[in-house]
Chains A and B, each alone.
Chain A
């Protein structure tokens, strides 16, 4: 393989991000090829697909992902051989390709999750069988996709312009590079030819662009080193000039990646950072002002409040950077729905609305699985077979609509089918049979969803229950809950079913230590933890109504969380102390048990009636249980105030370290 594997591990996150982008491109290209399966494949789409696979192969090789490298290579070779034939792609070939890209995705996902790679043999065999059938063996060809000119594309309606761009360091410093110029020209029309040439010592780029009727170059471009005139097409008969004809691929729909950020969003962040710098220097000058600090207390308060506001805005701006269009998820759903539709033998049209709705990248990734379930269910259980639909006076082809829309700080995604609807009475019968519903009770609309999403509720063994939605619905409900979202359902017999998922626009996800306190589970954000100690409860010393333990060469004030939250005072013999706070003023939080580290989604507690000092939010643990998230900074503040009120400042005399014995378990930070 490679001797550089470990060295390139430092780029593994870049690798995953770039893979996501290329996989999205490959999926889009395959769907486009399938959509026009009757005609020979469009060269620009093939080129785009080829390049994505090629880059995936190259990068996978670098990070030692042998599975992904092999699969990408096989796909690339298959594409290469099919390109030579220039005939429409056979369905068998396309199917093998879809399977290949799906496998490639699984290889990369396995690497990401640290699991073992899937076995590629079956898919690779299928692929090579499809390719053998597809193409005659031809001698290896030096012509690589990317060189083939696509001149006919320029002869559409409108005008052809010839642009000359002479780059210079001044222009480049102003951001006017050949790439920037190309982007402008792409926005204007279709570039069908680009070539560099030297005019003496000066470099000039020639672009030929076909511009749709009614559009023209912006006169202001003349100031950016661009000259242009209406032009004749360069003769397609003489494309062999050494400086090459260059086929320009169609600009791809914007892919999504953690790394791609609109400049305006970065500008907003920069502005806020600037504000913070100003605030800090103000703070500095206040702290250095002559005389008593109490005299400038008001000004300090004001600055602190300003900084708090700026930090909040900064956080919001950074959140906005993470927003990506939901359209990418929709494309992946189309990809998955394709399989389900083919297997079911039904006719289903997929309709998307609101692809440009933006949503947190973190939410997007976690939404995919539940949406996949809903889409598969709609195809398998919701939409009827063509003959059944015709008999009901519906069109043979069913429609599955996915709709995304943002409202305020929430986003709503609808998955709607025009199928048979859910037969509530049959679900109720099944629920009674499974003991989920008391005999004689009927289901209200609200309870219907609850039953469908109950773990273990299944209609799988009743193949004829066309309205059955039990399959995997508990997974969907759990995933939506985890994301602080809500799932609802509307169904009309004979007309169809609509699932609605409402989610927060952005999410806070953090690593937290789950602990147990007085029988309750709580989460402590991991970054707040300095150290964890385990000690005998008997070594905790009471001191004027406060408790302390020995710590390092001094003492550590501790707060019993069960007492703080009034959960009772019973205490196990052996307890844990989470050391939080600053180096100079640490404090211990006393808990009964440690339950482990978890990645949690933070649900903010906004309701003032529910808000409790020391609680920063809540999180859903996936099994339906809710756990409070401690806000250690607020907790410290409150605990300190209580301490002061009780008149017990922490003793300044170091206590004998021998008085109690504590064992450091792990320095967490």
Chain B
């Protein structure tokens, strides 16, 4: 186990057996997560990013044993969650909570929101006296920016942002140490997104929470995460701290994600044309190619990439799994940086300076 980490996941794999194609045929195996390792330090936020189907959610859910893992370990506070007996696991659940993406389907429509927030206290802290529980719920409502008189309402009486606040109150009720945030702001309007992101960070500061933060929005990830793991087809292809990843992406997939993310400075008026774009869709996790999984879409793929699977190589500035990664100061790394300042591709003469946006 890594020194001082709260959650240390080693070689985690998740497989799902699919339906037989024929009566006597073997069940095809879908490899959703393939040997993923990462560690999360207390009070920090680790981002898991990637496209749909890259295994972000499955990885996080398997790490806290909400999805059965095929192999691997997940050390939480010095104990392997994946080999605990069920009762001991249940005892630990109060330290592991989840905030889901969809604030509509993740709250019971028939229950008053006060009861929804109280439920984890009843289940996991039965020793707490009833009046104290009630007081705690009231306190939680204040904490997430809801009024105590709203406790008697039902979920449908709230907006999406307010429902997400209820979810957050429910997640922090038992004073957990780790919260898995599964795309917590993806379903919200931008203005509400900012409110929720600020709230999550304030709670982290006040209670020393650690977040495993799943998102496909790199802007959000850059705002809230300290470290970022980029996933592709069930594996981590790059791991780095936030400043390194966003200023010097080394895996071509990371660079492509950054090039694809919307930004205010890429203007149609300035004739912006995207470069280094990935084409098509990722391969099926049912038939994973022998070489690098990204080779079929990679703008820089070589024959070696299609034959030999690159291993995650660690060094001072992070880890990357690529035969031909961008060097730390390589020009291609500017693909990411260009999202901010200017397009670097077309030489000095006709380089287009995109006007910098004024920040108030």
Please determine whether chains A and B interact with each other in the same assembly: no
Residues of A within 8 A of B (CB): none
